[in-house]
Every structure is written in structure tokens, then in C-alpha cells.
Chain A
Amino acid sequence: MKGSHLGEFEELVLLTVAILYDDAYGLSILDKLEKQTDRKIMISSVHKTLVRLEDKGYLKSHMGGATTRRGGREKRLYQLTQAGIVVLNKVKELRNSMWKQVPKIIWQGGGI
């Protein structure tokens, strides 16, 4: 279902697009993600998520940057939309506010 909800992997992809700024396309996002998270990720799941995020309106894309290494095929380069920036901020605010509500005792290693 398309909604405004952002899954964990979606959030990571969205952040990666933001990090890569003007060179965010399938493979570069995959490389960056694997490096950041240290997990094995399938290229198909990256593309699937990108399509979904675009459908949700958080990303926009254009074609460009063909190289011979790619068999002369263009990349689909992704960029955050305004809505994408807003939703990232929302997620971050939500996390922050929830962090603040956690009692300090948890972090001090006290048992319950």
C-alpha cells in the first residue's frame, strides 16, 4: 500500500540518496548502503524501493550519465523531492522525541 509511512529500508535508501546528492543511481546507492550497513543487499530490492519511493512522491528521477562500462545505457538518477525532505525530517523528529522519553536509568544499566 502506498502511504506516507516509511519503512526502515526505505528510510535508509532515502538517506543514501540524500548523501550521494548528484550521483544517486541504483548501483551507487547499493554500494553506499552495503558499505554503511555492512549487509549484503540485492540490487533488485534497491530498485524496487526506489520505484516505490518515487511512487510515494519522495523521490524524483531523470536519465543521464551513460558510460561504456554500462553498455552505453543511461543511469536513472534520483533526487529528493520537497516531500522527501519533509518526511526524513519527520522521522528524525519522531526518533528524537522518543529518545528523550526513554528514562535515563535504561542507559545506566539498571535492572528493572
Chain B
Amino acid sequence: MKSNHRPPEWAVRFFEWYCNRHLTDAVLGDLLELYARRCAVIGRRRANWLFVFNVVLFLQPFAFKKKPISPHTNYIAMFRNFTKITWRNILKYKMYSAIKIGGFSLSIAICLLITLFVRDELSIDQHYENGELLYRVIYKSDDPADSWKGTSFPAPIAAVLKENFADIEQSGRLIAFDGWFRAGGNLFRPADQVTNVFEERFAYADQEFIEMLEIPMVYGKRAHALSEPGSILISRRKAEKYFPNQNPVGKVVIINDNESEPFVVGGVMENLRNTHIEGIDFLITLSGVEFWNGEQTSWCCWNYSPYIKVRPGTDPDALEEQLLSVRDNYIIDYGEKQGRQGADKARKYHSLVLQPVGDIHLRSKDISDFLEVSDIQIVWFFIAIAAFIMLLACVNFINLSTAKSANRAKEVGLRKVVGSHRGSLIQQFLTESVIFSTISVLLGVLLAAMAMPYFNAVAGKDLAFPITEWWFIPTLVLFALGIGLLSGLYPSFYLSAFKPISVLKGRLAGGSKNSFLRSGLVVFQFTTSTVLIVGAFVVHQQMQFILNKKLGFNKDQVIMLHGANTLGDKLPVLKEELLNLSQVKHAAVSSYLPVKGTKRNGNMFWKDGRDKIDVGVSAQIWRVDPDYIDVMGMKLVEGRNFSDDIASDSAAIVINQTMAKELGLENPVGEWIMNFGRWVVVGVVEDFHFETLKGKIEGLAMVRSGNGSILSVKVDTGDMANTLSSITGVWDRFKPNQPIRYTFLDESYARMYADVRRTGDLFSAFAVFGIVVACLGLFGLSAFMVEQRAREISIRKVLGASVRIILQLLTLNFLRLVTVSLVLAVPIGWYIMDFWLRDFEYQIPITWNVFVIAGFLVVLIAALTVGFESVKAALINPANKLRSE
């Protein structure tokens, strides 16, 4: 028998790892004895094998379960003790507790709001019973020179889709862009009332559209709410406004004071919430509608957005493949019959694709539609912000807990001496952080509830706490636990690792030293805050740039009077009377204005006689009156304006510079161009921005017309209120039953950029919160540092150090960390904001001064934060601190 035979080391170690202390030696001794015996009898290999087998067999609860130290361990009493100690600590270090809880609850409030926001965004269009069968059809061009996706199709599309494809069960069309006949804003009244009221959200839809989108009904049947020509579907809130306490189905309503074309209410729908057509209050049927002769059967004009419902089990990819026949047999066919060019290109690059209806709200970034959609990137941005702010608060907690470890070290040491295990110490500190996070969650919910109205205003939402949902409270509890454990993990392991002997002797490891981790956390916080500040600055600058950019027209002191079309013949008289007012300089009638929400169209232009030869130039054609250019303060660079006095000017056209260039006209004045008619160019107007600055200026032409829905008035006045009341006086003489409705051109312009302003506001708000949370942490850390070094400072002062040197000593370290964060924040901030600005065709350059200002601000705030406690320490009378020694 050789005693140098040893069983596999790993098995021994494994056994020692899992076995409890009560049995380790006893059992392992037995096993080794057995092993030695077996080695002699059956050889080493089989003995090894049996040893391992035995080790595995011992893997039973009795072997790894810890024997309780005392048979009567009372967990409840222990937790009661932990809670008591926590409570005492909160009260003892009020300031630090306030910082921890304050930072936490602020961040939790923000997180809650953002979570509700994100939940709301993600829930849009997810509620349809047949949601997976619903698609919006999109026309897509992959042409590398001109790639785009659009939702508009010619009128016959819906019928063609349904009749030609067996997989398509239903199809319906929607027109939701402002300015298309009655889509957008209109004057509205029930037939038995006289006062016209302006209502903003009208759209056209097919009967099958409301069936596919399962629009919930209050009154009337969904199955035939829009089936009759001339029927209209109104939302619950509008029904309550115009027909309180009655069923409006069958009632007659008048739009734009046009009594010759009344509409009949076909039904009342629930307010459209949580859909991509949210907010639409009036749906006018497309049944029997023909906007002009032959419009419904022609493939000329692209204005309808088709939706389809496929049969269950349809493969959308295969269907897309089949849909190419629509492109070939109808769209290209029509173009060829018109003698248009570009059929080869269309065959090569164009296609019809299906977009699930559930994707419309968040995944339509590159699709031009006329709906107010959001984007998944914004949702991600919000989630990232929430996560960052939550992390900042956790970092504060970790920072302060480890920094304050000196105060707890003796407690830890003593607890260990009287027999506490590391496990139960970890438990204690985790309990503590969970208590902190629970208090913070409660406060956070309170804060969020108070901030909810403001948040809703900024985010343009209508959020509320889902307090009645069964999962809400449990989720909050889980959240409190999660945050508590996340932030408590590191401190509890750190604190519980103290060696009793050294802490009781008074030596403390780590606590007051500036650990690498703690510096890292401070850097992280300040980097995040700086990036947010830079973001807020850049967005703000871009907004200023947008508002002050030279646009090619003058948006100041222009009043837009809406609903002018209802005046009919009296419109020129109204215009004359307004011009008689001393403050009014110019007035012009047109439905087309260079702000969103006014009329738009799309046209193809060619040089005269070349429509069968060239690929056309797309451009808007605006119908304006001759005073329009004066009202808008536009500049003619060549030629003249058209005039009412020249009869031949009915064929005159004024084009913008871009259009002249695209048409290739060297000397445009006097040239003939064509679309469906022939026009002679009489003037060229300087390019002006008629769409948002996110896109390039495109071709635009103006022709003479006396009609339109908006009467724009250029005034020159220092007393706008007085001017408005004069104008209102004139209006009321003409239309006593229709309250005047006006907007200012500059305000309408600014409203086009509400999303930019919103982004700016959000960035600013988050930047403020970020910096507040970071400063709370920094303040706590510096206060603690000062406390730790109080005696050192006093001794330095006794030895002759000046206040300046002491301040330097105390603040330099922190400021160095803040500087590191600045260095990190510059590239990150630059990258993010550059990405954001790419959305704009016309953008500001990101300049270095943004970073300088942001950096200066952050350093200043940090210096003030750190300085507050440091100055106090530097000015203290050293005798006070040293007396107790």
C-alpha cells in the first residue's frame, strides 16, 4: 500500500466547495481512507473512478445544506433589526440619505414617465383583431438617383387590388392630407344651426377602410356607416359637441357653408385613440365621390392611400411579387399611353410593397405620407435616456454608500466579532438599499404624478398611470427590488468584506481614498450630463437658425384669414374693404402658403412640346392672386409679376429659380412650358422655402387665380390688437354667422418645427435632470471628503496654509475628473448631434463654442457644488476640530 497515491485533486476541491463545514473533514477523511484501501485492492484507476463516484453521490441536501447556527434563527427579528438600523442611519446622516433618496426618486419619476410614454407609443395600432392581416400598400422606387417610398396611388387602385388578387379580401382608401378638397380643416355646422365653426381634422375614407381598421362605433352600424354617397362619420367628442345627448345618425350637416352639398351623418365612432389616424374627427365617404370628371377611373393622379386585408395564410412576400403586375398593367401602361418616358426605369426600380398596419406609427421614417407618425428611433432615444438617468442615480447610491463606508466599518467589524456571517451582512446591506429604493419608488410615483400634466404637454400625449391594471403595483414592487439590488450589490459586498481586526483597530481600507471605480462613476455621470447639455444647445441653435433663416419670403406681420372661400362673390369686396384700412398694406387670396397645413399638389412640367421626349420636372403649381408676391415679400429676380389687367396673363406663369434650372431654361422669361396646359413664363421668383428645412427647395410655379380659402393680409402696425379688431370688424360685416379665424404666418411657420422645439425642450429637461442628479452625487462625495479630511485641513491651516491652497487641495481632484468627462463628452456629443442634424437639408454647423460653453457650464456647476463644502472647510477655525484630540 503506497500512501503517495492521491485521488484527483479537482474532485477533492469540488467536494470541499460544496460540502458544509460540519461534514467536510469527516467525510473526506473517510473517502480518503476508502481510497487508500481501494488502491491496494483494485488499482488506482478504478479507485479514482470510485472516488469521483462517491463525491458525486454525496451531492445531497444533507451534505451541502448549512447547519443552522442556532436552531431558532428568527429571520423576522433579523429583518426587523436591519430595518431599525437602516432607519437610524437615515436619520443620523440626513443629508446623505436625502441625496440618495432624492436622486433616486427623481430618476424613478423620469423613468416612470418615459416608460409610460414608450408603452403608449408601442401600443399604437396593436389592438386590431385581424391586425396581422392588415397592410398599407406602398409604392417604392429603388432608383439610386431618386429613391423614395410613398403611400399615394391613383383612385382605381382599391378596386384593382381586390378584383385581381385572390389573396386580398378587402381593400379601402384613405385621403388624409390637408388641403385635398375637404380633407384637413373645414367650417362645419349641423344643418339646423347657423353658426359655422372651424373643425380641423377631416379625412376621406372608403367604407371598407373603416371595416378593416375595426373602428369602434358609438351610434350606427360599422357595416354601412360610409356606404352611402354623401355620408360622414364623426367622432364621439364632436358628436357630443354638436348633438349633445342625441343620436346624430341621419342628421344633415353642412360643410363650408355649402348648402347645395349637404352630408348625412352615417355613424358616430369612438374617438380614434392609439391609431396612426389618431385625432381624425370627421371621415367623409369616398363612395360616389368624383373630384373631377373621370377622376375615379384615371391612373393619372396619385392621391389615395390604399389599405388591404389579406386572407389568412397569405404570404406577404409572394403577394408583393404578384402586385408587380399592377405596376406593369396599369401604372406603366398609363404612362406609355400618355407617351411618357421612364417606363424602363419604372420596370427596373419600382415596386409595390406591403407595410403591416402595426408598423405604420413607428416604422415609416422613409415613407412620405401625410400622417403624424413617430419613429422607433425616438422611442429608443427615450429608453436610452431613462436607462442613463436611472444609472446615474444608482451610481450616486453606490458612490455615497462606499464613500460613507468608514461610518459603517465599526458596525461591520463588531457584527462579525459577535458571530455574523458575511452572508447575513450582505443581506443586511441589501435590505438597506431595498428600503432606500422602496421609499424612492413611492416618492418617485408621487413626483411623476405631479409632473404628469407638464410631461403630457411637452410630449403631446395623454398619459395616465395604469393604476387599475393588475400588473401595475407588482411591477413597481419588482422595480423597487431590482433597483435596490442593483445599486446595493457592490456596496454590500464591499462593506461586508471588512476585516474585523483591522477596522476595530481603527485602520480603514479604501473608504476615504479616491478609488478608481468611484472616479469612473463620477466621470460617467458628468460625461452623460455634458452630452445632454451639448444636445440641448445644438437643438436650440438649430431652432434659432430655422426661425431666423432668410426664407425667400417675409413671414412677419402677415395675418392669414381662414375660410375665405365661403364668401364666394363677396371675396374681392372684402379684400378691397380690408385694403382701405390704414394698417393693411397688401392682401392676397390663395389656398397655397409656404407653411404646413395649407394646400399642396404635384405636377409634371416639360418644355413646350417635349412631354413625349423628356422625363418631366415635378413641381407644385400654386394658384395665387397677383398681390401674392407683395404680401409674401418675395423677390422677382427676372421678368414681372402677372396682373389682373392683362387678359393674356391667364396663361402666364411665374416659376422659382429651382424650376427654371431643372427645366434647363437659360433665359426663362418668354419661354413656353407645359403640363396639362401651356404656360408662358413671365417671371422668375427667388427660391423660397415652402416646405420644412428638412428638405431641399423643389420646383414651384405660380399661376393667376382669384379664389382660395385663405386671405393673407400684410399689415404694418405697432398695435396688433387694434389692427386685429379693425379687421374683425370688417369681417363681421360680411360673415356675421362665421366667427373670424385667423393665424399669423410666423406662428404657423414656427409650428412646423414643433417637433424640433419638443426635442430641444426634452434635451434641456433631461440635461437639467442629469446634471442635478450628478451634482447631488458630487456634492455628497465632496461633503464626505471634507468631513474625512477635517483634521488634516485644520493642521494644514495651523501650519500656515492659505484658504486658496486648501480650496485647491479639496477641489482639484474633482475638477480633474470633470475635465476628463468633458474630453470624453466632446466626441460623443458631436457624433450624436451630427446624426440628429443630418435630418435637415439646411443645418447649422456644429461649432467648437457649443462645447466650450457646455464645458464651462459643467465645470462651473461642478466647482460650485464642490466649492460649497470646501469653502466651509477652509474657513473653519482649526481649533474647533483639533480640540478633541
Q: Which of B449-472 contact A (CB under 8 A)?
A: none
Report B-chain residues with C-beta under 8 Å of the C-beta of A19.
none
Across the interface, B29 reaches (CB within 8 A) one of A48, A51, A70, namely: A70
B25, A73: Cβ atoms closer than 8 Å? yes
The minimal Cβ–Cβ distance linking B624 to chain A, given in whole angstroms, is 95
Q: Residue among B25, B28, B29, B60 with the most chain A CB within 10 A?
A: B29
Report B-chain residues with C-beta under 8 Å of the C-beta of A60.
none
B29, A66: Cβ atoms closer than 8 Å? yes
Asked whether any CB of chain A lies closer than 8 Å to the CB of B27, the reply is: yes
B62, A73: Cβ atoms closer than 8 Å? no
Report B-chain residues with C-beta under 8 Å of the C-beta of A63.
25-26
Report B-chain residues with C-beta under 8 Å of the C-beta of A47.
23, 26-27, 30, 58, 62-63
The minimal Cβ–Cβ distance linking B7 to chain A, given in whole angstroms, is 9
Asked whether any CB of chain A lies closer than 8 Å to the CB of B3, the reply is: yes
Asked whether any CB of chain A lies closer than 8 Å to the CB of B424, the reply is: no
A75, B36: Cβ atoms closer than 8 Å? no
Asked whether any CB of chain A lies closer than 8 Å to the CB of B54, the reply is: yes
The minimal Cβ–Cβ distance linking B2 to chain A, given in whole angstroms, is 12
Report B-chain residues with C-beta under 8 Å of the C-beta of A25.
26, 30
Asked whether any CB of chain B lies closer than 8 Å to the CB of A93, the reply is: no
Report A-chain residues with C-beta under 8 Å of the C-beta of B32.
69-71, 73
Q: In whole angstroms, what is the CA distance A71 to B3 when docked? A: 9
Q: In whole angstroms, what is the CA distance A100 to B33 when docked? A: 44
Q: In whole angstroms, what is the CA distance A52 to B22 when docked? A: 13
B57, A42: Cβ atoms closer than 8 Å? yes
| Nearest B-chain residue to A73, judged by Cβ | B29
Q: Which of B275-325 contact A (CB under 8 A)?
A: none
Q: In whole angstroms, what is the CA distance A47 to B57 when docked? A: 11
The minimal Cβ–Cβ distance linking B51 to chain A, given in whole angstroms, is 11
Q: Chain A interface mostly helix, strand, loop or mixed?
A: helix
Number of residues from B at the complex interface, CB < 8 A: 20
Q: In whole angstroms, what is the CA distance A102 to B705 when docked? A: 125
B3, A26: Cβ atoms closer than 8 Å? no
Report B-chain residues with C-beta under 8 Å of the C-beta of A69.
3, 32-33, 36
Number of residues from A at the complex interface, CB < 8 A: 21
Q: Which of B28-69 contact A (CB under 8 A)?
A: 28-34, 36, 54, 57-58, 60, 62-63
B3, A43: Cβ atoms closer than 8 Å? no
The minimal Cβ–Cβ distance linking B580 to chain A, given in whole angstroms, is 105
The 8 listed contacts between A and B (C-beta, < 8 Å) are: A27-B33, A43-B54, A44-B60, A48-B60, A52-B62, A69-B32, A69-B33, A73-B29
The minimal Cβ–Cβ distance linking A82 to chain B, given in whole angstroms, is 19
Q: Which of A1-43 contact B (CB under 8 A)?
A: 25-27, 30, 42-43
Q: In whole angstroms, what is the CA distance A65 to B54 when docked? A: 22
0/1 interface trace, chain B 11-27, chain A, CB 8 Å (1 if under): 00000000000110111
Q: In whole angstroms, what is the CA distance A47 to B481 when docked? A: 40
Q: Which of A74-91 contact B (CB under 8 A)?
A: 74-76
B28, A74: Cβ atoms closer than 8 Å? no
Nearest 6 pairs between A and B by C-beta? A76-B26, A73-B29, A70-B29, A26-B30, A27-B30, A71-B32
B34, A43: Cβ atoms closer than 8 Å? yes
B54, A76: Cβ atoms closer than 8 Å? no
Asked whether any CB of chain B lies closer than 8 Å to the CB of A68, the reply is: yes
Name B residues whose Cβ lies closer than 8 Å to a Cβ of A.
3, 22-23, 25-34, 36, 54, 57-58, 60, 62-63
B25, A74: Cβ atoms closer than 8 Å? yes
A48, B62: Cβ atoms closer than 8 Å? yes
| Nearest A-chain residue to B36, judged by Cβ | A69
Report A-chain residues with C-beta under 8 Å of the C-beta of B36.
69
Q: In whole angstroms, what is the CA distance A71 to B32 when docked? A: 7
A44, B58: Cβ atoms closer than 8 Å? yes
Q: In whole angstroms, what is the CA distance A69 to B54 when docked? A: 18
Contact A75/B26 with A27-B33, A47-B58, A70-B33 known, Cβ cut-off 8 Å: yes
Name A residues whose Cβ lies closer than 8 Å to a Cβ of B.
25-27, 30, 42-44, 47-48, 51-52, 63, 66, 68-71, 73-76
Report B-chain residues with C-beta under 8 Å of the C-beta of A42.
54, 57
Report B-chain residues with C-beta under 8 Å of the C-beta of A68.
3
B62, A75: Cβ atoms closer than 8 Å? no
Report A-chain residues with C-beta under 8 Å of the C-beta of B33.
27, 69-70
| Nearest B-chain residue to A49, judged by Cβ | B62
Additional A-B contact list (9), CB under 8 Å, known A26-B29, A44-B60, A63-B25? A27-B33, A43-B27, A51-B23, A70-B29, A70-B33, A71-B29, A73-B28, A73-B32, A74-B25
Report A-chain residues with C-beta under 8 Å of the C-beta of B58.
44, 47
Q: In whole angstroms, what is the CA distance A42 to B59 when docked? A: 13
Q: In whole angstroms, what is the CA distance A76 to B27 when docked? A: 8
Q: In whole angstroms, what is the CA distance A13 to B27 when docked? A: 16
| Nearest A-chain residue to B26, judged by Cβ | A76
The minimal Cβ–Cβ distance linking A101 to chain B, given in whole angstroms, is 37
| Nearest B-chain residue to A72, judged by Cβ | B29
Report A-chain residues with C-beta under 8 Å of the C-beta of B34.
27, 43
Q: In whole angstroms, what is the CA distance A43 to B26 when docked? A: 12
Report B-chain residues with C-beta under 8 Å of the C-beta of A75.
26, 29-30
Report A-chain residues with C-beta under 8 Å of the C-beta of B62.
47-48, 51-52
A26, B60: Cβ atoms closer than 8 Å? no
Q: In whole angstroms, what is the CA distance A69 to B5 when docked? A: 11
Q: Residue among A44, A48, A66, A68 with the most chain B CB within 10 A?
A: A44
| Nearest A-chain residue to B6, judged by Cβ | A71
Q: In whole angstroms, what is the CA distance A52 to B67 when docked? A: 12
Report B-chain residues with C-beta under 8 Å of the C-beta of A26.
26-27, 29-30
A74, B26: Cβ atoms closer than 8 Å? yes
The minimal Cβ–Cβ distance linking A9 to chain B, given in whole angstroms, is 14
Q: In whole angstroms, what is the CA distance A68 to B29 when docked? A: 10
Across the interface, B31 reaches (CB within 8 A) one of A43, A48, A66, A76, namely: A43
| Nearest B-chain residue to A52, judged by Cβ | B62
| Nearest A-chain residue to B24, judged by Cβ | A73
Report A-chain residues with C-beta under 8 Å of the C-beta of B63.
44, 47-48
Q: In whole angstroms, what is the CA distance A76 to B29 when docked? A: 9
The minimal Cβ–Cβ distance linking A25 to chain B, given in whole angstroms, is 7
Contact A76/B23 with A47-B63, A66-B29 known, Cβ cut-off 8 Å: yes
The minimal Cβ–Cβ distance linking B22 to chain A, given in whole angstroms, is 8
The minimal Cβ–Cβ distance linking A81 to chain B, given in whole angstroms, is 16
